[in-house]
Chain A
Amino acid sequence: MDTPKNLKYAKTHEWVEFLDDSSARIGLTDYAQKKLGKLVFVNLPLVGDELSLGQPLGDVESVKAVSDVISPLEGNVAEINEALLDAPGLINDDPYGAWLVKADDITNNDDLLSAEEYDAFCESEE
């Protein structure tokens, strides 16, 4: 799957879609979902929760293991993708469509990678 050029990426394998200056959607990359395997549970934050850069915002679980989803931004949870709670496999089927949370009041993170930089990073992880 091609890594979308319009998104930014964290080294902890989350993607960020900036919607405007103050809000963004956050999801898991294709690389992440492939590494995790079929997801069977998603634990999302509550609307209004604070997001702290580098801290877990929730977790995803496969049969094998649980993995934290690390917040790539500072901000507040404006919306969660409730469809994922009943169908975590949507993340496997469409990682760049299945966003986890929408954040507002965000502070940008200059360490986020471009698609090219992220692809190179994933390659170096192998």
Chain B
Amino acid sequence: MEKKTPLYDFHVDSGAKMTPFAGYLMPIQYTDIIEEHMAVRTKVGIFDVSHMGEVLISGSDALGNINDLFTNDFTSMSDGRVRYSPMCNPDGGVIDDLLIYRLSRDEYLVVVNASNREKDVAWMQSHLFGQVKLQDISDAVAQIALQGPRARTVLAKLTRADSIPEKYYTFKTDCAVAGINCLVSQTGYTGEHGYELYCAAADAPTLWKALLEAGKDEGLLPCGLGARDTLRLEAAMPLYGHEMDDTVSPLETGLDFGVKLQKNDFIGKDALLARGEPRITRVGLKVTGRGIVREHCPVFINDEKIGDTTSGTFLPYLNGAYAMALIDKSHSALGTVVSAEVRGRRVDAEIVALPFYKKA
């Protein structure tokens, strides 16, 4: 039996198509994926992402623990900052990718993928050392993403200016948004300017309603997981289970910026060093032939298979078919002409630069 987020009734009442995802019944779309996608690119949208997992790691050894568990370096991070990081297994494969919020030197909020929550918590718990405590607070916390060029305008109607984080990957705590106590970060998974708001699960309906109301004149639309996926793909943001998994290293999927090999020991470091220069890499494909290329399509140069697609569909803002693929690095030069096998048929494509879309 799937769980429901605190906003489930809103979704059903507004006619959303609901689908099971990561153990939750989630809205896949309200009206139309393309419309919702375009609202976020040109105006503003809100997403219920309460299925995401939230974990608190605290104690005097918290910093040492997160530096051991995660591949990024948190030593010089200051309060109010957010940092992205993969979490690796001892073989250098990715267990999950996550966001780490520094609440204080001894307290961090870790946001994990919904589908990996239990696996992540068990892994982290079993590798803790010293004075540290881990609490899975996912069920008590709701998360709403407010994304799009008019996100700030909408947020400013509901909170004081000093409660709005001004820089990308920073956050503010104890913000009163429509009277609801929130943590507000300037983060997101759409490639657009925007915020993510965390609040107590019981407060989520009030916050959702206030955001819908404040966004009325700005063209705000509630958006489902369908648009969330096309938006992140257009921005070429990797998704766990697609562009990476337990076997793919973060270096192979282009997450070098989140891996600090020069820092002290961390789980997976030895394996990443031993693996050496990655032989595969993540590329973008623009489909030039006729068709839509989705995930798990073999990619060829002539008759030589060089890899597989990891995500792909029709991208609404770019108005064309695109895919990401993990392929042999020696064939990854921009402009390379390849073909993808789609249900027994070859569709031509070209390797293009990532991200496909970058906000102005």
Contacts and interface: CB of A to CB of B under 8 A. Distances in A.
Interface of A: 37-38, 40-41, 43, 59, 61-64, 66, 85
Given A38-B32, A40-B314, A63 B226 contact: yes
A40 B37 CA distance: 14
Given A40-B314, A41-B314, A64 B292 contact: no
Given A38-B32, A38-B34, A41-B321, A63 B291 contact: no
Contact of B29 (A37, A40, A85): A37
Nearest to B230: A63
A37 B36 CA distance: 13
A43 B291 contact: yes
A64 B226 contact: yes
Contact of B34 (A59, A61, A63, A66): A63
B100 interface: no
Nearest to B19: A64
B205 interface: no
Nearest to B319: A40
A62 B315 CA distance: 11
Nearest to A88: B314
Nearest to A59: B343
A90 to B, nearest CB: 15
Contacts of B230: 63
Interface of B: 28-29, 32-34, 37, 226, 230, 290-292, 294, 313-314, 316, 321, 343
24 contacts: A37-B32, A37-B33, A37-B34, A38-B32, A38-B34, A40-B292, A40-B314, A40-B321, A41-B290, A41-B292, A41-B314, A41-B321, A43-B290, A43-B291, A59-B343, A61-B314, A63-B33, A63-B313, A63-B314, A63-B316, A64-B29, A64-B226, A66-B292, A66-B343
B294 to A, nearest CB: 7
Contacts of B321: 40-41
Nearest to B227: A63
Contacts of A43: 290-291
Contacts of A66: 292, 294, 343
Contacts of B314: 40-41, 61, 63
Q: Interface on chain A toward B: helix, strand, loop, or mixed SS? A: strand
User: Which residue among A38, A40, A63 has the maximum number of chain B CB atoms within 10 Å of its CB?
Assistant: A63
Contacts of A85: 290
Contacts of B28: 64
A51 B28 CA distance: 35
Contacts of A37: 29, 32-34
A59 B321 CA distance: 16
A68 to B, nearest CB: 10
A41 B226 contact: no
A75 B313 CA distance: 33
Contacts of A61: 291-292, 314
Can you list the 10 inter-chain pairs with the closest CB atoms, starting with the nearest?
A40-B314, A63-B33, A61-B292, A41-B292, A38-B34, A63-B314, A63-B313, A38-B32, A63-B230, A64-B226
Contacts of A62: 33
Nearest to B320: A40
A61 B230 CA distance: 15
A54 B33 CA distance: 30
Given A61-B314, A63-B230, A41 B34 contact: no
Contact of A41 (B33, B37, B291, B316): B291
B348 to A, nearest CB: 14
A37 B34 CA distance: 9
B231 to A, nearest CB: 11
Contacts of B292: 40-41, 61, 66
Nearest to A41: B292
Contacts of B316: 63
A22 B211 CA distance: 59
Contacts of B32: 37-38
User: Which residue among A61, A62, A64, A66 has the maximum number of chain B CB atoms within 10 Å of its CB?
Assistant: A64
A67 B53 CA distance: 33
A33 to B, nearest CB: 12
A38 B37 CA distance: 13
A62 B32 CA distance: 10
